[in-house]
Structure 1
Amino acid sequence: MAGLLIGAVAKRAGVSPPTIRYYEDIGLLVPPVRSPAGYRCYSEATVEELRFVRKAQALGFSLDEIGEILRLSRSGTTPCSHVLAFARRHLAAVEERIRHLHVFRERLAAELGKWDGTQTPTCRGLCQIIAEAEAVDAAEDMKVLSQSRRGRQGIGQR
């Protein structure tokens, strides 16, 4: 029984063996055949699918979306119309995050403009700079910052 072992597949695809096992567990990858000794034996097609997954993730696709694309492809259906729909939704979400980041940038710049860099504010208890800042929707700002910092990982997202 010829095939690639998980370490070789991981190295060639640029992912870790636990990632490959996770993708199998969630149904993203088709479970491989097993050797008589119980080793997973993968085909070159698995390496290509894993490379595809990495590229799709880099473009912001979630694992759920990637799974749908792979299932369509495996069934013989061209997934391109689905990919375009996903990409349009992602672009709209990115544009919305950018709008929120611009608002946050303006708020932060306005606060910085109030603070004189040559003076050290007196601090008693809490920092007066923050305490005297204009009320902002901190929860929304932090959500936007968090999304832009970590990017869209896609695990469990739809």
Structure 2
Amino acid sequence: MKIGELSQRTGVSTKTIRFYEDQGVLPPADRAPNGYRDYPEDAVDRLRFVKDAQSTGLTLTEISAILDLRRQGDSTCEHVVDLLEGHLSGLERHIERLQRTKAQLVALTERARSLDPAECVDPNRCQTIAGDATGDRVSDGRGNPLHSTPHQHAHRG
């Protein structure tokens, strides 16, 4: 099948199909006498697998490793489980960071609502973000600072 038909059947652009072929994710197509690529039927299943694997967060490098194992006749299940567990762990860490960021934004928003706009006279310092006049840092309610403010350097003469 020609590249256009493969693209239509899989929803993968012709440019991406060529890229996958260059990267070894898709085996090189045979060439017709006119130079056009001629893909076998199993290219459809291969591209669908690549799309499915990418939807789980796997990288092309990881997908290539799975395909290499499969091509060698080895079982891929244990390797895939390891990859997915690693991605899940990374996702959980990312969610924790996002939750901390959300807590920071909630605290800063509450702080901003409590400040008097008339007192905001320093064009180089946002009192909402920089902390209060006593130098206290904004915290997440558990004593953890929400941010760092730049160090103020005193001029010595």
TM over 0.5: yes
Q: Which runs of 4+ in 1 moved over 2 A?
A: 117-135
Matched, 1:61 2:58: yes
**Aligned 8 A contact 2:115 2:128 in 1:** no
Q: 1:29 to 1:111 in 2, by over 3 A?
A: same
Give the structure 2 partner of residue 39 of structure 1. 36
TM-score, normalised to structure 1, is 0.76
Distance in 1 separating the partners of 2:81 and 2:10: 25
Give the structure 1 partner of residue 155 of structure 2. none
Give the structure 1 partner of residue 126 of structure 2. 128
Q: How does 1:44-123 map to 2 (within 5 A)?
A: 44-116=41-113, 122=120
**Aligned 8 A contact 2:30 2:39 in 1:** yes
Larger Rg: 2
Report the CA distance between 1:76 and its aligned residue.
1.7
1:80-130 deviation digits (Å, cap 9, x = unpaired): 111001001001101111111111111111101101189756576457256
Any stretches of 5+ residues in structure 1 without a counterpart? 139-158
**Aligned 8 A contact 2:112 2:128 in 1:** no
Q: 1:112 to 1:34 in 2, by over 3 A?
A: same
Distance in 2 separating the partners of 1:84 and 1:125: 54
Q: Which has the higher contact order (CA 8 A, sep 6+)?
A: 1
Distance in 2 separating the partners of 1:30 and 1:118: 63
Q: 1:107 to 1:48 in 2, by over 3 A?
A: same
Report the residue type matching 2:147 in the other structure: V
Which protein has the bigger helix share?
A: 1
Distance in 2 separating the partners of 1:91 and 1:130: 35
Report the CA distance between 1:27 and its aligned residue.
1.1
1:25-51 deviation digits (Å, cap 9, x = unpaired): 111111010001111000111111101
Paired-residue identity, %: 36
Report the residue type matching 1:132 in the other structure: A
Report the residue type matching 1:136 in the other structure: H
Deviates most, 75-84 or 55-64: 75-84
Q: 1:38 to 1:117 in 2, by over 3 A?
A: farther
Any stretches of 5+ residues in structure 2 without a counterpart? 132-137, 139-145, 150-157
Distance in 2 separating the partners of 1:8 and 1:123: 65
* RMSD of aligned alpha carbons: 2.3
TM-score, normalised to structure 2, is 0.76
